[in-house]
C-alpha cells in the first residue's frame, strides 16, 4: 500500500511583500506592470479612470487575491500564464519564499 500525499492547496491570497518578491523572481517588476497598464491606456483598451484604479490596486493592495479579475487580465496582457493550474503553481511557489 502506498501513501498518497495530496498537493498543498494554493493560497487564496498573498501579502504584498511575498507577492512582489515572487514577481521579481519571475522577472516582473512594478515598473513592468505600470508599463502594461500605460500601454492599455494608450491603446484606449481601458479608460484613464480604469488605468488609475489598476495602478492603485497594484501599488496599494495589502493582499493580492489569486482570482482577482484585474490581476488575471494584467497577467494575460503581460504574457504570464494565468490559467488555473499556472495560477495555483505561481501562488504555491510564492508561499515558499
User: What range does the domain containing 64 cover?
Assistant: 14-95
- Is residue 86 one of the residues assigned to a domain? yes
- Is residue 19 one of the residues assigned to a domain? yes
- Is residue 2 one of the residues assigned to a domain? no
- Is residue 3 one of the residues assigned to a domain? no
pLDDT at 97: 78
- Is residue 82 one of the residues assigned to a domain? yes
Q: What is the count of structural domains for the chain?
A: 1
Predicted structure pTM score: 0.86
CA distances to 20, 27, 44 from 13, rounded to whole Å, are: 13, 20, 30
The stretches in the chain having pLDDT less than 50 are: none
Amino acid at each position: 500500500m502506498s501513501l498518497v500525499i495530496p498537493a498543498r492547496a494554493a493560497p487564496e491570497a498573498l501579502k504584498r511583500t511575498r507577492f512582489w518578491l515572487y514577481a521579481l523572481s519571475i522577472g516582473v517588476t512594478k515598473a513592468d506592470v505600470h508599463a502594461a497598464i500605460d500601454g492599455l491606456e494608450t491603446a484606449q483598451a481601458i479608460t484613464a479612470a480604469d488605468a488609475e484604479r489598476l495602478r492603485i490596486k497594484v501599488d496599494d493592495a495589502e493582499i493580492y487575491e489569486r482570482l482577482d479579475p484585474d490581476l488575471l487580465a494584467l497577467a494575460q496582457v503581460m504574457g504570464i500564464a494565468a490559467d488555473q493550474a499556472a495560477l495555483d503553481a505561481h501562488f504555491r511557489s510564492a508561499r515558499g519564499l
